[in-house]
Each structure stands twice: as C-alpha cells, then as structure tokens.
Amino acid sequence: MSSGQQMHLRCPAKVNLSLSVGPPRPSDGYHPIASWMVAISLHDDLMLEPGEGQSRFHVQWAPDAPRPSPIEWPIEKDLIYKAHRTVQEHLGRELPVCATLRKRTPTGAGLGGGSSDGAAMLKGLNELFALALPTDVLASLGAKLGSDVPFFLGAPSAVVRGLGEVVEPAPLDQPLYLTLILPDLHCNTAAVYRMFDLLRPDAVLREITAATRAQGVLVNDLAEAAFTVEPRLRELRDRCAWAAGKSVHVTGSGAAMFILQPDAATAVRTATRLRHQCEVTAIPATSL
C-alpha cells in the first residue's frame, strides 16, 4: 500500500504446516525440502520512501511486538539491507531510500520474519521506482537472500520445494486458526540440520501432494532434531500440549510452535491459558 511516495508494506510470518527434508546434496551440502507453508497474520511493517544521497535503514520493535529481543545485529546483516543491495547490483545503479522496519515476528523462531522483510523490500523497490521487474526475476534475486524469500513473493499458501526456489500455490479451502507459541528459546538452524543428519542418516524426501494436504497430517522432519539441540523446547511442547489438550507442532527448525484451532475464539482462549499455565508468550493468529 502506498500514499504518494510513501509505502507501507506488511511482512507476514509463516508456519510450516508440513516439512519433509532430504539428505544433504553431495555438491554443496544443502538439504532439499518439500514444505507446505502458509503466511499468517503476525507481521512486521516496512515503510519506504525515496531518499537522497545515501540510503538510510532503521530497524526497531513495534510497540505491540509479542516477544521483542535486543537488536544487536549490524544493519548490513539485515535482509532489508541485503535485498536493497541485491536489487541495486542487479540494476547497476543506486536506489536511494529511507526504510523503517517495525518488527513483531521474533527472530530465529522458524517463522521466516527476516525472509518476509527481504521479500517486502524487493516488492517495495519494484513499485516505488517503477522498475517493472517480473516476478520470476524478483524470485531469482530473493533466492540469493534466503530459501524462504521466494515463498513470500507469491501466494500466501504454497508448497515449496528444492532449496526454496520452486513455489507452487496451494490455496486453502478455508481459513486456518492457530495459537502461536513463541518461546524465549533459540534453535540454531545450522545446528538443527547437523543433528538431523545424525538422527536421520537414511532420510528420504517425501512429496507433499494435494492428497496428503487434504489428509491434514502435520509432519516436521526437523522437530526431533530441534528437541535434541534444545531439550527445553521438548519440555515446553509437552507442557503446552497438556495444558491445551491438543497437539503442538514445531514450525521450521524452531523454536516457535503452533496449535491448529477450530475457530478464532478457541485460538484466543488457548493463548490466554498457555500464558497463564505455561508462562510462555502465546498469541492467536490466522492464515492469510
């Protein structure tokens, strides 16, 4: 959305409803995946406007961020900066902007917050400067930034394959309601994948089809590795499952988790119960 030369872009988080992971590729050690990803209502906000001279970037937590943490990384490490630099390098010219990012999605939680921010920057620059870059070009640039970025450039529900570069829309028949659990824990993605290789030396990549999605079976091949790397996450999962009386699922490599709910009111009630009984940050969310 834009107002004059100012733009406001929402950067939604995502959950992996299903995630299958294959063995590392001999060529580069990266793991191919097949994942059903869905964008959700938890989101960051990116404000963009044309600048003069050197571009300026500011990152802060929104006042209503559910679980803020210190912003200790240099701006050069942030994906909005990297996305901006990538587009400039692709075009071979400067695109001076003033960018303000207000974050709500916790960092390092498996919710794709940084990737969504980077995707929003790609889309925002394309519109702000009337670059007319096709979606496939934006996706190619996004793939250089991170495996989740191409997903955020497309449909809000999609099956993602390969190293994230293959994105096939998978429309939802009805909205999804979730209770998001946002622990004050961190699962290092590289460590989780290393543990996955130890636990699953015979890993086989499984397809995610329309039939398997319709069955509603939620599987995350990285969950056990995440629990092994961070045992407190398993303990919290078990406590939350007992308090909610429902299955609790890890998204991505963790540490965020979610519970599927039948309606919005139940998602709200469960979030309140988990905050009180399990002393964990929990919020309701819906699919986009």
User: Three-class SS of residue 261?
Assistant: strand
- In b/e form, how buried is each residue of 207-219, taking b as 16+ CB within 10 angstroms? ebeeebbeeeebe
Using only the alpha carbons of the chain, give its radius of gyration.
19
Q: One of 44, 78, 117, 148 is an active-site residue; which one?
A: 148
Dihedral sign, Cα of residue 89, residue 91, residue 93, residue 96: negative
- SS3 labels along 186-221: CCCHHHHHHHHHHHCCCCCCCCCCHHHHHHCCCCEC
Whether residue 148 lies in the annotated active site? yes
Q: Which two tokens stand for residue 71?
A: 């912003």
- Let me know if 14 is a catalytic residue: yes
Catalytic site residue from 14, 82, 103, 123: 14
CB contact at 8 A, 188 and 229: yes
Residues with a catalytic annotation lie at: 14, 148
